Each structure stands twice: as C-alpha cells, then as structure tokens.
C-alpha cells in the first residue's frame, strides 16, 4: 500500500528520471540466490546489484541499521513510467514524420502519373 493522498504529502516538482536512466540498466538485471544471512532470507529472484544501481538512480538506495544496502523500487517504477511516456512521445512523433513523408511521396507520385 502506498499513500499518495495530497492531504498527507506535499508534492513539489517532477521526478525526472526517464528513458536514458532506464537504458543504463540494460544488462544489469540479474538472477540471484540468497546467501546465508542474518535476515534468514531464502530463495532466488531477480534484481539489480546495488553497486550497479548506485550509479544510475542513486536516490533509490538506503542502508539499514545493520549496514546492508537496499533500494526502494518506487524510484525505478516511476522512472519506468516516465520512460514509457517519453518513448511513446518519440514513437508518435516518428510515426507522424513518416506519415508526412509518405503523404508527400504519394502526392509526388500522383503528379508524376498525371503527366
């Protein structure tokens, strides 16, 4: 559960992590298996090694009372939301550009065929 009620929070400014930051994560998401640890964490999963993430979205990283580092995935999630929107805008702009070029070519072909 994440509280985002404006009665509880002051929202001030945009979070600007986006497509370039997400692209830096390419080939950094890795499979892992927990080692024996003080938290009794077991099993396996996927994640980003903290040293890799620190150079990309450093504000996501925290250190617990035992000195172990972890990250808050919300920062990655909202960077992904921004990246998706940025990618969509670039995609739509490119599609519009291609459609305009196609319309221009179709007009030129029609003129040439009319000769």
**Domain count of the fold of the chain:** 1
- Tell whether 8 is covered by a domain: no
- Tell whether 56 is covered by a domain: yes
- Tell whether 95 is covered by a domain: yes
State residue 99's pLDDT score: 98
Mean pLDDT by 10 residues, the chain (115 residues): 88 94 95 96 95 95 96 95 97 98 97 93
State residue 2's pLDDT score: 81
- Tell whether 10 is covered by a domain: no
- Tell whether 5 is covered by a domain: no
Tell me the pTM: 0.79
- Tell whether 50 is covered by a domain: yes
Structural domain range at position 108: 19-114
Token output for 90: 């670039």
State residue 81's pLDDT score: 97
- Tell whether 76 is covered by a domain: yes
Give yes or no for a contact between 45 and 77, defined as CB atoms under 8 angstroms apart.
no
Whole-angstrom Cα Rg for the chain:
23
Strand residue runs (E) in the chain = 30-33, 44-47, 61-63, 69-71
Question: Residue 44 and residue 24: Cα distance in Å, rounded?
Answer: 24
Q: What is the largest CA-CA distance in the chain?
A: 83
State residue 46's pLDDT score: 95
State residue 3's pLDDT score: 86
Please, which residues bridge with residue 32 across strands? 45
State residue 4's pLDDT score: 86
- Tell whether 12 is covered by a domain: no
Q: Would you tell me how many other CB atoms lie within 10 Å of the CB of residue 76?
A: 19
Reading phi first (left if > 0) and then psi (alpha if -120 to 50, else beta), residue 66 is in alpha
């Amino acid at each position: 559960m994440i509280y985002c009620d404006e009665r509880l929070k002051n929202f001030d400014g945009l979070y600007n992590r986006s497509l370039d930051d997400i692209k830096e994560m390419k080939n950094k998401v890795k499979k892992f298996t927990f080692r024996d640890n003080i938290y009794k964490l077991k099993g396996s999963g996927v994640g980003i090694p903290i040293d890799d993430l620190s150079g990309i979205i450093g504000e996501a990283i925290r250190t617990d009372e035992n000195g172990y580092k972890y990250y808050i995935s919300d920062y990655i999630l909202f960077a992904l939301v921004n990246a998706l929107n940025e990618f969509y805008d670039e995609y739509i702009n490119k599609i519009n550009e291609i459609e305009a070029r196609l319309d221009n070519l179709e007009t030129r072909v029609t003129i040439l065929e009319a000769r």
